[in-house]
Amino acid sequence: MNENRALDAFAALSQETRLRIVRLLVTAGPEGLSAGTIGEAMDSASSSRMSFHLGHLEQAGLVESRREGRSIIYSAALSTLAGLIEFLMRDCCQGHPEVCNPAMAALSSCCEPTKGTAHG
Amino acid sequence: MNENRALDAFAALSQETRLRIVRLLVTAGPEGLSAGTIGEAMDSASSSRMSFHLGHLEQAGLVESRREGRSIIYSAALSTLAGLIEFLMRDCCQGHPEVCNPAMAALSSCCEPTKGTAHG
DNA sequence: TCAATATCTCAAGAATCGTTGAGATATTGG
DNA sequence: CCAATATCTCAACGATTCTTGAGATATTGA
């Protein structure tokens, strides 16, 4: 993750429809959902609007797509989300891990912690 | 954290100067930095531009300010950053913690893990 | 090939955002 | 009060972004 990719990702996440799409795909897991299914889950979604937003998210690296028959299936790019978190919080500790523990707690309330070392 | 606050936060983070300010303040820690010091760290920073961006970040809840004499000191609002991460990754596991472990690993490479339960 | 389905591409107008420069407000010390 | 310092507010212009609607492309089955 570098600054320009982070800026693209945050810009992509700062729009209501796109943020909803990403959160929907995060909960949908690796199997993902078709463009049409995603559109049905959004209010007032024209096909061109969905295409615009899904393309924007893919360009930003936040979602990935694959074709399955007539449908295009989108799924969340969790490694980009992880990179974004790491980029934002990089060097947050400075030897005082308690400073950024709120962010850790937020994630560990969702996920089993993995082993890691504090660099501060 | 709710959707509107998350949208405001991501919009605030999607601009180069503001993202740099937040990252600078994250590394600066709880003591924070004055508006003038932050401006000096940015390229081509007019005072009105700094004021605009710092106000934008404060409005979005990403930074906090306090007056000290003639200076206004800004610091990162780590609890908002944590809330943002939690909002984005909520329900990412669905019983399969390995799905969102990349995000956990990103943070635990910075911070000592805290105790938490997987809800998946 | 033809029709149906699913999705994407493109152009134009409306809305939003960032920069600039002038001036206003708050604090400090004489 | 006055001057110096630090920061904020406001209006206007240019740039970017979102939505819409028409039409194009890709896949499937008869």
Instruction: Compute the mean pLDDT over every residue in chain A, rounded to the nearest whole number.
Output: 86
Dump pLDDT digits (tens) for B54-101: 999 999 999 999 999 999 999 999 989 989 988 998 887 776 676 677
User: A89: which chain B residues are within 8 Å (Cβ-Cβ)?
Assistant: 26, 81, 106-107, 110-111
Across the range B29-51, mean pLDDT stands at 91
- Is the CB of A104 less than 8 angstroms away from the CB of B103? no
pLDDT (0 to 100) of residue B66? 96
Instruction: Say what the pTM is.
Output: 0.88
Q: Which residues of A touch B14 (CB under 8 A)?
A: 7, 10-11, 13-14
Residue with tokens 């690993």: B105
Task: Note the CA–C1' distance, B72 to C28, in angstroms.
Answer: 14
Q: Does residue B113 have a pLDDT over 90? A: no
pLDDT at site A59: 96
What domains, with CATH codes, occur in chain A?
1-113 (1.10.10.10)
Task: Using CB atoms, pick whichever of B10, B86, B91 lies closest to residue A27.
Answer: B91
**pLDDT in the model for residue A118:** 40
Region A77-92: what's the mean pLDDT?
Answer: 88
Mean pLDDT of A79-107: 78
Could you list the protein residues whose CB lies below 7 A from any atom in strand D? A 11, 14-17, 44, 46-49, 52-53, 56, 67, 69-70; B 34-37, 39, 47-48, 50-52, 54-55, 65, 70-72
* CA within 13 Å, CB half, B11: 13
Distance of CA A23 to the CA centre of its chain: 7
* Tens-place pLDDT, residues A16-27: 999 999 999 999
Please judge whether B26 and A86 are an interchain contact, meaning their C-beta atoms are less than 8 angstroms apart.
no
Q: Is the pLDDT of residue B116 over 70?
A: no
A43-83 confidence digits (pLDDT tens) = 767 899 999 999 999 999 999 999 999 999 999 999 899 89
Q: Which of A6-10, B58-62, B111-115 has the lowest mean pLDDT?
A: B111-115
Quick one: which of B47, B43, B77 has its CA closest to B63? B77
pLDDT classification of A98: cutoffs 50, 70, 90: low
What pLDDT, on the 0 to 100 scale, is given for residue B117?
Answer: 42
